[in-house]
Amino acid sequence: MIRSFLLSISILMLILSSTFVLCLKSPPKTIAQTETAIATKQPQLSSDQNHTLTRTTKIIEGGNMSIISKLLSKVIETRINKSSSLLELTSKLPEVTNVSYANMITQKFMGIPQGLDLQKRDIARNILEKDEDIASIFFLIPKGDTYMGEPYPDQQQLPRLNYADRDWYKGVTRTNDTYTSTVFLSAAIHVPAIAIAVPVYGNSIESNVGIKVNQTSSPSIVGYWVGIINPVRINEDLSGFNLLNSNNKVLLIDHNGTRVFESLAWPKINVTSSSSSSSSLFNGQNQNQNQNQSLKSFSYLRSVQNALEGQSGSTVELIDGVKTTIYYYPVQIYPHTWALLLLQTSK
């Protein structure tokens, strides 16, 4: 029975992570190859795979809560790190590393005009079409000014040009590596969001484009490829697993101890229309600037502290005065460790 259960779990994780493996096998070198890699990212489940998923769900229902928390953490890892890998993959394309229109950046367009650098915009639109977790994509030059954004209305509606004060900008410039931000809140529609920033390297930059780079390193960083993740969709998909009952709740906590999402905490929001949401996601205030009921800190919980230290287990703690059994598990969101909490309240 145990062997059958573990086999079902393994098959489920294989199905969910197949995209991640496909993206890492052979980095594309052209736009056409990139489109092919992106297209393979979301395979359709066969009838046998659907049967396996259903069977695994039925086995888990009423089963070991520690195993459920581990399973959910791995699903979240796969989803976010898949988007991160896709951004890394496309950041190496010559169409992305080319920033020859940087001298056309103006506040009038909050970047370059819509009709410029169409190849980079096409790549961004392909990513948005194929990865529904990514709400918008921006390219910034090294000093933090916006070069371009897709969808274009999101670039056009930006309230300012420079974003060097953002957590994700500070992180990617400090590490010179892919960086996932803390959760921040959309100022317009109050939706939590995450930014994944990837450094883009190029061999050289002409001085007349006004970009200052470190000339002692080769190749040099020519900009940052930034994807804005809307975790509401991930939350909705987890709810679709039907693993939990009315006494259970799932919390995803970022590396600062702030809630990214809470299962069934918000009404469903149409996140397919990026033009109505992603610019506000890009400009959302972080948790230090705009605390409200949607951005809540759980850093006081021992379970959160343990998970952020890479530990897993269970404990009983008070949440809002309610005695709650908490199953916790670390979630590896590069370069941080986040926490997955599975809450079980007393009936």
Residue 23 lies in a domain: no
Helices (H), the chain: 2-16, 18-25, 31-39, 47-60, 65-91, 94-97, 118-130, 152-156, 167-175, 231-239, 278-282, 302-308
CATH number of the domain that residue 250 is part of: 3.30.450.20
Q: What is the pLDDT of residues 195-205, one digit of tens each?
A: 999 999 985 44
Residue 320 lies in a domain: yes
Residue 185 lies in a domain: yes
Residue 82 lies in a domain: yes
Q: Which domain holds residue 215?
A: 68-347
Residue 14 lies in a domain: no
Residue 24, pLDDT above cutoff 60? no
Q: What pLDDT is stored for residue 191 in this prediction? A: 72
Helices (H), 199-341: 231-239, 278-282, 302-308
Average the pLDDT over 241-257 and give the result.
81
Residue 343 lies in a domain: yes
Q: How far apart are CA 115 and CA 56, in angstroms?
A: 49
Token pair of 171, please?
């992180």
Secondary structure letter of residue 183 according to DSSP: P
Secondary structure letter of residue 277 according to DSSP: T
Q: Which of 69-73, 178-182, 203-207, 265-269 has the lowest mean pLDDT?
A: 265-269
Q: How many domains are contained in the chain?
A: 1
Q: How far apart are CA 203 and CA 220, in angstroms?
A: 6
Q: What is the pLDDT of residues 100-138, one digit of tens each?
A: 999 999 999 999 999 999 999 999 999 999 999 999 999
- In whole angstroms, how far apart are CA 222 and each of 102, 147, 283, 340? 10, 11, 22, 36
Residue 17, pLDDT above cutoff 50? no
pLDDT-derived band at 46, boundaries 50, 70, 90: very low
Q: What is the pLDDT of residues 277-330, one digit of tens each?
A: 444 445 544 433 333 446 889 999 999 999 999 999 999 999 888 899 999 999
Question: How many of the other CB atoms lie within 10 Å of CB of 236?
Answer: 16
Q: How far apart are CA 249 and CA 240, in angstroms?
A: 13
Which pTM was predicted? 0.74
Residue 50, pLDDT above cutoff 60? no
Q: What pLDDT is stored for residue 244 in this prediction? A: 63
Q: What pLDDT is stored for residue 263 in this prediction? A: 77
Residue 22 lies in a domain: no
DSSP 40-81: TTSPPPPHHHHHHHHHHHHHHTTS-HHHHHHHHHHHHHHHHH
Residue 98 lies in a domain: yes
Residues 6+ apart with CB under 8 A from 121: 148, 150, 152
User: Mean pLDDT of all residues in the chain?
Assistant: 75
